[in-house]
Amino acid sequence: MDGWRFEGFPGRVLYVDLSANTLETRTLPLAWCLEGMGGKGLATRVLVEWDTTEPAAYDLVHPVTGGSDVARHPSTPLLVFTGPFQGTKVGSAGRAVVVSRSPLTDVYIDTYVGGNLGHRLREAGWDGLFVTGASDALVRLEIADLEARLVPCPELKGATTWACEQALDGLGECFSIGSGGEAGVRFASPITAGRRAAGRGGTGAQFGFKRLKAITVSASTEARDLARIHDPEALAAAVNVQRKEMGLKRRAGDPFYAFGTSRGPLYASANDRMPTANYTAADGVVPPLASSAVAVAAAPPTSAPVPGMSVEGPVALDAHRLSGEHWHDAHPDAKQSGCCAPCPIACEAADRPTVDGVRTRGRPVHLNRVERPEYETLAMMGSNLGLTSSLDVMDGNDACNRLGLDTISSGAALSLVCELAERGWLPEAWGTTFVAPFALGPYAEGDAVTWRFGDAALPPLALAALCAATPGDGSLFGALHGGAVAFAEVVESLTGHPATRCTAHCKGLDLPAWDPRGKRGNALAYMTANVGASHMRAGYKAPTGLPRDSALDLVPELIESQNAIVVRDSLILCAFAKGASPDAMLAEAWTAITGDEATWSDLCQRAGVQWDLARAWNVAHWRSLGREAAAEDLLSWRLRKEPLPSGVAEGCVSFRDDDDEAACLSAYYRLRGWDAAGQPEVNA
Ligand code: SF4
């Protein structure tokens, strides 16, 4: 068995061509590994250097919007990478990154997944996987150390991610898609460990386009022993620093260690950040829809408005009931748990399920648990859908895990349909109801389910119906396949109603559960992230106030934080471990693993190069479609023009005004060293 080629890096990638049905080992130059730092940085370099996208990809037409659809072409690469922290004892590093052209946005996407997949892949001897082409029939990729093979798997067609994991039990870590990815739903996510998703950007659809149902990875003890760490003692010392920091936080009663992100509704609603009723508010108070600015420009309704809570509003949701605290009240025996070993934070919680009135015995496994949803899900599948209890969010969360869908974009898509239905803006032929595909809650199979806010049974029923639909077939679900932004475009073209004004996104990526109208500088972070509206690509050290004031002074800190996060996402450390992992400790761990004497500042400089590389890749794409980068960077209309109706940020939009928005964006371009059109030097 071949050992690692370099200290800290296996130095090899498994190159899979699904069209040719071939697998080969490709080696990586040491310089790429060190400059890319592994994970995101290295995967981006490999994506750009080995990009297999053929010119014919630009001829593909999106089945829903009729626009470009490069991501769907078989030649689009799909990468799964690990970083230097995987396979080590660094805490909270059970992660891997998926990089591709996003099926949802058609631009660069990097998205992270927990569980043990990243550990196993690196221990098996791989920096990552590069997958191109598309198989004729459904296949799975089976990796055991440095051996790999493609296996036809017609028996897994239509299987949920959970059924897939059960069927492939014994083959190591399983990373699979459900019917969402198989059907090409543009916000599908591959899932591992039953509930850990590579959530954003629809990379599950990329698996589906390639007819790749699952990847399994196992690593033998012999393979693990081949890892080369430059200075194990120095690494142990760095890990010790992190453990001590985490121990201090736990003993100090840091609520994150008891509730994970699930207390988010309390903080986010109080600060006007929590998406409510399709981003029409951010404080948990559903406004009367007729009061919003978008209604002013509207034509008369096409179909009869659906009587719902938001038409009659304002209606206040209960942030406490939506939070994890309420969930724990209802599940007093729930245990805090970690799923990305080794993780001293263990941010999840689960309870034993009750079957036929009897609580199951023994330690619950991931296939049979009662999970506490995290904040993004509580907001996007909760308040944004007019739901007010964390218990009501669980079924929708569960459906996303099994079908393999992103909870953020699922919440964005379903809430948009609810708003348009309540406004009477859906095409008349679609009606304002859909048929329940199975019995749930008050519905029997075949019952009509009305599109409206505040119905806990709607998300699981609608998502199941969505995954059974055909994209672009002229039906409501056929349009919803493309996600919220594509759906709005279709409705607008069919009815003339300004449905696109009801979306919240940047570059086509649905806004996460943090409304930028409630925080100064947040909009610029969304606008400048290469993936679009992600809340995980930047952060400010201190509260920044409201966007009534300019964010111009925040631009240097924004760039600094983006670069720091690229380092974290390249080493691959969970974002939640940041507070307990000082920059110096991360640099020491890097040196201990790789032998490269880089300082934190050196690593951040390398991160800046990665940022520009991904940006240049996006800009080249837009230019080939005749589109301007600066226009692509703008947020959608609602976030720029529709003020928040209530809460501490009442009256705020994302910037002070249009001039402030333009000034902030140009300052950002200038400080990044880009030209006035937002083009980095690297591609000049
Ligand atoms: S903090 Fe949570 S998500 Fe992050 S590594 Fe630990 S268990 Fe996983």
Closest by Cα among 409, 372, 339, 401 to 160: 401
Please give the radius of gyration of the chain, using alpha carbons only, rounded to the nearest integer: 24
Candidates 112, 119, 261, 343: which one to mutate for ligand 1, based on the most atoms within 8 Å of Cβ?
343
Decide if pLDDT at 415 tops 70.
yes
Asked whether 257 and 343 are in contact (CB, 8 A), the reply is no
| Mean pLDDT, the chain, whole residue set | 93
Confidence label for 84 from pLDDT (cuts 50, 70 and 90): very high
| pLDDT value of position 682 | 67
Q: What is the pLDDT of residues 246-279, one digit of tens each?
A: 999 988 888 888 888 999 999 999 999 999 999 9
Convert the pLDDT of each residue in 539-571 to its tens digit: 999 999 999 999 999 999 999 999 999 999 999
Give the Å distance between the CA of 367 and the centre of ligand 1: 19
Measure CA 57 to chain center: 24
pLDDT-derived band of residue 137, with 50, 70 and 90 as boundaries? very high
SS3 sequence of 329-391: HHCCCCEEECCCCCCCCCCEEEECCEECCEECCCCCCHHHCEECCCHHHHHHCCHHHCCCCHH
Instruction: Classify domain 12-224 by CATH number.
Output: 3.60.9.10
**Ligand 1 pocket test target in 345, 536, 568, 571 with most atoms within 8 Å of CB:** 345
Residues 683 and 183: their CA atoms lie apart, in Å, by: 36
Mean pLDDT of 346-358: 76
| Nearest-CA residue for atom 5 of ligand 1 | 92
The DSSP call for residue 418 is: H
What confidence score (pLDDT) does residue 684 get? 38
Q: How far is the CA of 57 from the centre of ligand 1 (A)?
A: 37
Give me the mean pLDDT over the 322-340 stretch.
Answer: 84
For 562-611, write each residue's pLDDT tens digit.
Answer: 999 999 999 999 999 988 999 999 999 999 999 999 999 999 999 999 99
Q: How far is the CA of 452 from the centre of ligand 1 (A)?
A: 34
**Which atom of ligand 1 is least distant from the CA of 346?**
7
Atom of ligand 1 nearest to the CA of 91: 5
Alpha helix ranges (H) inside 210-346: 221-224, 232-251, 256-259, 264-270, 309-312, 319-322, 324-330
Tell me, in angstroms, the distance from the centre of ligand 1 to residue 93's CA.
8
Candidate from 86, 89, 92 with most ligand 1 atoms within 8 A of CB, to mutate:
92
Q: How many angstroms is it from 348 CA to the middle of ligand 1?
A: 7
Closest CA to 286 of 260, 316, 258, 325: 316
Task: Evaluate if residue 296 carries a pLDDT over 60.
Answer: no
Give yes or no for residue 475 having a pLDDT over 80. Answer: yes
According to DSSP, residue 130 is labeled E
With bands split at pLDDT 50, 70 and 90, how would you rate the model's confidence at 364? very low
Q: Quote the ligand 1 centre to 134 CA distance (angstroms).
A: 33
Mean pLDDT of 634-641: 98
Ligand 1 pocket by Cβ (under 6 Å): 92, 94, 114, 338-340, 343, 345-348, 574, 576
Distance 564 CA to ligand 1 centre (A): 19
State which ligand 1 atom lies nearest to the alpha carbon of 343.
6
Distance 548 CA to ligand 1 centre (A): 35
What is the position in ligand 1's atom list of the atom closest to the CA of 577? 1
Q: Are 414 and 185 in contact (CB under 8 A)?
A: no
Peptide bond into 103 cis (omega under 30): no
Q: Which of 257, 261, 337, 348 to mutate to test the pocket of ligand 1 (most atoms within 8 A of CB)?
A: 348
Answer yes or no: CATH 3.40.250.10 is held by domain 260-331+372-506: no
Q: Are 154 and 372 in contact (CB under 8 A)?
A: no
Indicate the SS3 state at residue 242: helix
The residue ranking higher by pLDDT, 352 or 138, is 138
Question: What does the pLDDT look like over 150-205, one tens digit per residue?
Answer: 999 999 999 999 999 999 999 999 999 999 999 999 999 999 988 899 999 999 99
User: DSSP label at 159?
Assistant: -
Q: Evaluate whether 105 touches 507 at the Cβ level (below 8 Å).
A: yes
Strands across the sheet with 191-192, in order? 147-152, 139-144, 212-218, 173-176, 191-192, 196-197
pLDDT at 446 over 70: yes
Report CA torsion sign: 478, 483, 484, 486: negative
* Interval 239-246 mean pLDDT: 94
**How many alpha carbons fall within 13 Å on the CB side of residue 244?**
8
E strands, 261-310, where? 285-286
Please state the domain extents for the chain. 12-224, 260-331+372-506, 515-683
Task: Tell which atom from ligand 1 comes closest to the C-alpha of 94.
Answer: 5
What pLDDT is attached to residue 341? 73
Ligand 1 atom nearest to 575, measured from its CA: 4
Among candidates 112, 143, 107, which has minimal Cα distance to 16?
143
Cβ-proximal residues to 332 (8 Å cutoff; 6+ apart), any chain: none
Looking at the CA of residue 574, tell me the nearest atom of ligand 1. 4
- 515-683 classified as CATH 1.10.150.20: no
Instruction: For strands 22-27 and 139-144, give the pairing.
Output: unpaired
- pLDDT value for 355: 66
Q: Residue 490 is encoded by which pair of tokens?
A: 């279709």
What are the strands of the beta sheet with 370-371, ordered from one edge?
A: 335-337, 348-351, 370-371
pLDDT, position 368: 60
Among protein residues, the one with the nearest Cα to ligand 1's atom 8 is: 340
pLDDT at 308 > cutoff 70: no
Residue 338 CA, closest ligand 1 atom number: 7
Sign, Cα dihedral of 66, 70, 74, 77: negative
State the Cα–Cα distance between residues 45 and 614, nearest whole angstrom: 9
Expressed in angstroms, the distance from the first to the final Cα of the chain is 43
Task: Please give the residue that has the higher pLDDT: either 152 or 304.
Answer: 152
Please say if the pLDDT value at position 25 is more than 70: yes
Cα 205 to averaged position of ligand 1 atoms, centre (Å): 25
Question: Tokens at residue 200, please?
Answer: 């954003």
264-265-268-269 Cα dihedral, nearest 10 degrees: -170
Has residue 363 got a pLDDT over 60?
A: no
pLDDT, tens only, 486-529: 999 999 999 999 999 999 999 999 999 999 999 999 999 999 99
Please identify, by atom number, the ligand 1 atom nearest to the C-alpha of residue 337. Answer: 7
Give the contacts of 561 (CB within 8 A, at least 6 positions apart).
538, 539, 540, 541
Residue nearest to atom 4 of ligand 1 (CA): 574
Whole-number Å distance between alpha carbons of 512 and 378: 11
Ligand 1 mean position, distance from CA 666 (Å): 36
CA–CA separation, 359 and 362 (whole Å): 10
* Over residues 229-243, mean pLDDT: 97
Atom 2 in ligand 1: residue holding the nearest Cα: 347
Per this entry, what is the length of the chain? 684
Q: Which atom of ligand 1 is nearest to the CA of 344?
A: 6
Nearest-atom index, ligand 1, CA of 92: 5
The span from the CA of 373 to the CA of 583, in Å, is 30
Outline where DSSP puts E strands in 473-573: 505-506, 509-510
- Which of 312-321, 380-389, 475-484 is the least confident region? 312-321
Closest atom of ligand 1 to CA, residue 340: 8
CA 573 / ligand 1 centre spacing (Å)? 9
What's the CA gap between 364 and 470, in Å, rounded? 36
**Rounded distance from Cα 117 to ligand 1 centre (Å):** 14
Cβ neighbours for 657, distance < 8 A, ≥ 6 positions apart: none
**Nearest partner of 288 among 304, 306, 305, 310, judged by Cα:** 310
* Best of 376, 576, 578 for a ligand 1 pocket test (most atoms within 8 Å of beta carbon): 576
